[in-house]
Each structure stands twice: as C-alpha cells, then as structure tokens.
Amino acid sequence: MTPLLLTDIERAVRSSWGADTCTPEFRARWTPANPARDQCGVTAMVLNDLLGGELVRGEVLVDGQRTDYHWWNRLGTGVEIDLPREQFDPHETVTEGVVVARPPVPGRLREEYELLRSRVAERLAAGR
C-alpha cells in the first residue's frame, strides 16, 4: 500500500469543501470563489484525525475587534498546517494561536465534520 502524502490529504480536503461543510451561521457568505471560507474548524478536526498533533486556535480580528476564531493544526514536529488560511479578506487578521484540547465529541459542527471526514476518506481511498 502506498503511504499517504500531505499533498494527497490536502487535495482530498480542498476538493471536499462545500457550503454544507462550512460553519452553518456563516453559510450565506460561502462561495465557490472562496471555498476555504469558514472551513477551519472541521478541517482542523479532520486533519487531527489523519495526522494527530494539536489543535490551535487564534482570534480573527477586524479593526482590532474579535469577530471569530480560526483553527489550524500543529504536528508533533512543530510544523503548522493551515489549509483554509487563504479564506480571509485583507481587513481580517489572525492572532497567534494557542493550543486547545480536542473535544471528546464534536459538538456544534458535528454534521459538517462528519460530512467532511466522510468525503475526505472517500477521496483518499479512491486515490490509492
């Protein structure tokens, strides 16, 4: 069996994003032109499933005010992976992240997480 490469995982994740996998309260602002928009929480969880490591959370700021949180991953080697990093508009900045404990069960984004996880698994299996 051929080992998975990070490029394979990235391709599978990016091709699995859709309006139905983004944060529901922000679904109206999701577009195919910016498929990474509001995918960070579920993407970080799926990558954590596949690669382990830590979940990292930073604040999204507009004019110095927190408008949201942004999630990404840090592997055991200290390498950070942030696939939906390009989602932000120029007026949005993200603070330095802090490591947060993974919830034992996905809560608020459970359906979106399970859908993304399923799509990614299918794409990875098809690519082998």
Give the amino acid at 59.
E
| Residue at 16 is within a domain | yes
d(CA 83, CA 111): 20
- pTM to 2 decimal places: 0.92
Does residue 88 come out as left (phi exceeding 0), alpha (psi in the -120 to 50 range) or beta? beta
| Residue at 40 is within a domain | yes
Q: Return per-residue pLDDT of the chain as tens, 128 residues.
A: 567 788 999 999 999 999 999 999 999 989 999 999 999 999 999 999 999 999 999 999 999 999 999 999 999 888 999 999 999 999 999 999 999 998 876 778 899 999 999 999 999 999 75
| Residue at 1 is within a domain | no
Which residues sit opposite 122 in a β-bridge? Answer: none
Give the amino acid at 38.
D
The total number of structural domains that make up the chain: 1
**pLDDT attached to residue 77:** 85
| Residue at 42 is within a domain | yes
Torsion of CA 39, 55, 49, 3, to 10 degrees: 100
d(CA 62, CA 35): 21
CB 44 within 8 Å of CB 63: no
CA distances from 117 to 36, 61, 94, 113 (A): 15, 28, 25, 6
Q: Three-state SS for 97? A: coil
| Residue at 66 is within a domain | yes
Domain that includes residue 26, residue range: 6-126
* Token representation of residue 37: 């928009």
| Residue at 18 is within a domain | yes
